[in-house]
């Protein structure tokens, strides 16, 4: 049990009704979970405003309300009302206090940027664990607490849930937490209430701009920059053209990485690695450290991801040999994930689900001079048709063969989506086939694989479901591949 005032430390507020000495049993921000003597935080959501449930919360026995605007309450209600400027901001501090400030017991590493966040979190976790640290993870795919893996709903969870995870990680003995920090998470104050030990900036390209996201690129960039006013130490990509704007007004010390010899840590002597069924890249680390590394993932962006991880692990004084070993072992589900199928060609799964990420992926794979570059993908239903046209045009221009299939059709007809993709492909001279059933499409790609081919299954990545007419059906591409190979073996 807490006194209301104990949960408000560090916040600017006004008690407009009742007393801050009120006893609080629980903190709640979902009106459906209100309990007797809880503190209910009225959040202004995109679709629902928690303030509209204030009277109902009091009727159910809430002991205190945190509000940012006036609410109508019964005159005789025994309730404390706390007025703040922004209830989301307040929730982050209240949640941290409610869970006992668990972030203070660990080193928190936050990674922001348009691309590379997910892969880099896993690389850092892999290296630090190789060095003997116990590491928790918060990200797009999952939260990892010891041996427990919790599927993620948001890249950066709501502040209450984030602090709850921190508490579980601290109790599990985690010394370090590495987490993805989305621009939306920063905009909505989900990462307030604690200080990051290290903040990382990977890169910035136009994304997440539109309704319920960011008004424009300037706001998107400004939100990314908030991380560097919430961390002690910043590690940033010197090569990105937006790095100075993103770090403007930073309150942390900064170090840089990249390909430029002017960076504190930089890569030289790049060499593509092309083994049967596997693509990678080797390079030499220079600057603050000096050693040779190899990463079992293709392209320059894999070098950036590895440099970021190396810079972080240097901060924790991890030995070079441990870094080398961990980078070779690190694999991220659904991020340029190689799936062993044949020594004759390479097959990989990747989450690329928009034109920007697909172009980056296919351009990278082209550098490995494949016999053919084969791209299999679809697009999600009930989303902008522009994405379909753009992805069709990208694949038609960069792939030798495109297999157009179904992704998450949601409430649309799969063939309608496929025909939209083909409108984009019509602007190119690219060859394509349409196979609506995703398993059949994958089987076709495998059966038609030629020596030297690189086949990429794009769009699903780590997802293990297909959403059709409002229902999520289990579908994991790795399992589909295994089934296809088993069926082929049975026939032979």
pLDDT tens digits, residue range 179-200?
999 888 898 999 999 999 999 9
Whole-number pLDDT of residue 155: 84
pLDDT at 275 over 80: yes
Instruction: Dig out the tokens for 246 from the structure.
Output: 């993103």
Greater confidence (223 vs 94) lies with 94
Q: How many residues are listed for the chain in this entry?
A: 492
- Summarize pLDDT for 428-464 with one digit per residue, the tens: 999 999 999 999 999 999 999 999 999 999 999 999 9
pLDDT at 379 over 60: yes
Q: Residue 292 CA to chain centroid, in angstroms?
A: 29
| Percent of the chain surpassing pLDDT 70 | 97
Whole-number pLDDT of residue 313: 93
Contacts of 276 (CB under 8 A, 6+ apart): 343
Whole-number pLDDT of residue 492: 40
Measured in degrees and rounded to the nearest 5, phi and psi for residue 410 equal 55, -120
pLDDT at 121 over 60: yes
pLDDT band at 115 (very low <50, low <70, confident <90, very high): confident
Candidates 303, 238, 309; CA nearest to 272 is 303
Q: Average pLDDT, whole number, for the chain?
A: 93
Whole-number pLDDT of residue 358: 96
**What 3-state DSSP class applies to 62?**
coil
pLDDT at 211 over 80: no
Average pLDDT, integer, range 387-398: 97
CB 263, CB 243: distance < 8 Å: no
Average pLDDT, integer, range 217-233: 89
pLDDT at 267 over 60: yes
- pTM of structure: 0.90
Instruction: Dig out the tokens for 450 from the structure.
Output: 């030629």
Instruction: Dig out the tokens for 488 from the structure.
Output: 């082929």
pLDDT band at 213 (very low <50, low <70, confident <90, very high): low
CB 311, CB 263: distance < 8 Å: no
d(CA 167, CA 100): 8
- Summarize pLDDT for 29-79 with one digit per residue, the tens: 999 999 999 999 999 987 889 999 999 999 999 999 999 999 999 888 999
- Summarize pLDDT for 226-243 with one digit per residue, the tens: 999 999 999 999 999 999
């Amino acid at each position: 049990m807490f006194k209301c005032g104990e949960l408000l430390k560090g916040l600017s507020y006004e008690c407009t009704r009742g007393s801050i000495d009120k006893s609080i049993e629980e903190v709640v921000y979902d009106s459906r979970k209100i309990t007797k003597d809880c503190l209910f935080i009225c959040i202004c959501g995109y679709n629902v405003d928690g303030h509209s449930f204030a009277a109902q919360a009091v009727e159910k026995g809430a002991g205190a309300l945190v509000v940012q605007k006036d609410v109508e309450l019964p005159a005789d209600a025994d309730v404390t009302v706390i007025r703040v400027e922004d209830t989301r901001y307040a929730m982050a501090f209240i949640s941290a206090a409610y869970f006992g400030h668990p972030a203070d017991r660990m080193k928190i590493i936050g990674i922001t940027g348009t691309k590379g966040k997910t892969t880099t979190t896993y690389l850092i976790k892999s290296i630090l664990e190789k060095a003997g640290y116990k590491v928790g993870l918060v990200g797009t795919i999952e939260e990892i607490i010891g041996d427990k893996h919790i599927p993620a709903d948001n890249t950066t969870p709501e502040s209450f849930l984030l602090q709850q995870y921190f508490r579980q990680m601290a109790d599990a003995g985690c010394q370090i937490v590495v987490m993805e920090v989305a621009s939306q998470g920063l905009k909505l104050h989900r990462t307030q209430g604690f200080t990051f030990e290290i903040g990382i900036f990977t890169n910035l390209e136009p994304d997440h701009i539109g309704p319920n996201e960011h008004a424009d690129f300037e706001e998107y960039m400004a939100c990314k920059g908030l991380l560097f006013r919430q961390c002690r130490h910043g590690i940033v990509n010197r090569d990105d053209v937006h790095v100075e704007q993103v770090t403007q007004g930073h309150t942390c010390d900064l170090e840089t990485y990249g390909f430029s010899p002017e960076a504190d840590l930089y890569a030289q002597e790049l060499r593509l690695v092309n083994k049967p069924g596997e693509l990678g890249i080797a390079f030499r680390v220079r600057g603050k450290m000096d050693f040779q590394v190899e990463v079992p993932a293709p392209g320059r962006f894999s070098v950036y991801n590895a440099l970021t991880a190396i810079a972080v692990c240097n901060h924790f004084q991890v030995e070079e040999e441990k870094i080398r070993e961990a980078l070779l072992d690190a694999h991220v589900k659904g991020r340029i994930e190689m799936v062993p199928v044949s020594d004759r060609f390479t097959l990989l799964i990747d989450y690329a689900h928009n034109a920007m990420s697909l172009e980056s992926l296919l351009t990278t794979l082209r550098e490995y001079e494949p016999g053919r570059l084969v791209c299999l993908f679809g697009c999600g239903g009930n989303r902008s048709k522009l994405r379909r046209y753009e992805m069709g045009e990208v694949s038609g221009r960069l792939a030798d063969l495109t297999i157009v299939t179904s992704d998450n059709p949601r409430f649309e007809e799969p063939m309608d989506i496929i025909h939209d993709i083909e409108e984009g492909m019509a602007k190119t001279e690219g060859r394509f086939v349409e196979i609506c059933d995703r398993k059949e499409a994958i089987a076709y790609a495998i059966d038609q694989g030629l020596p030297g081919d690189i086949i990429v299954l794009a769009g699903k990545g780590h997802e293990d479901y297909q959403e059709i007419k409002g229902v999520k059906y289990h579908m994991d591409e790795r399992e589909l591949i295994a089934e296809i190979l088993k069926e082929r073996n049975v026939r032979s």
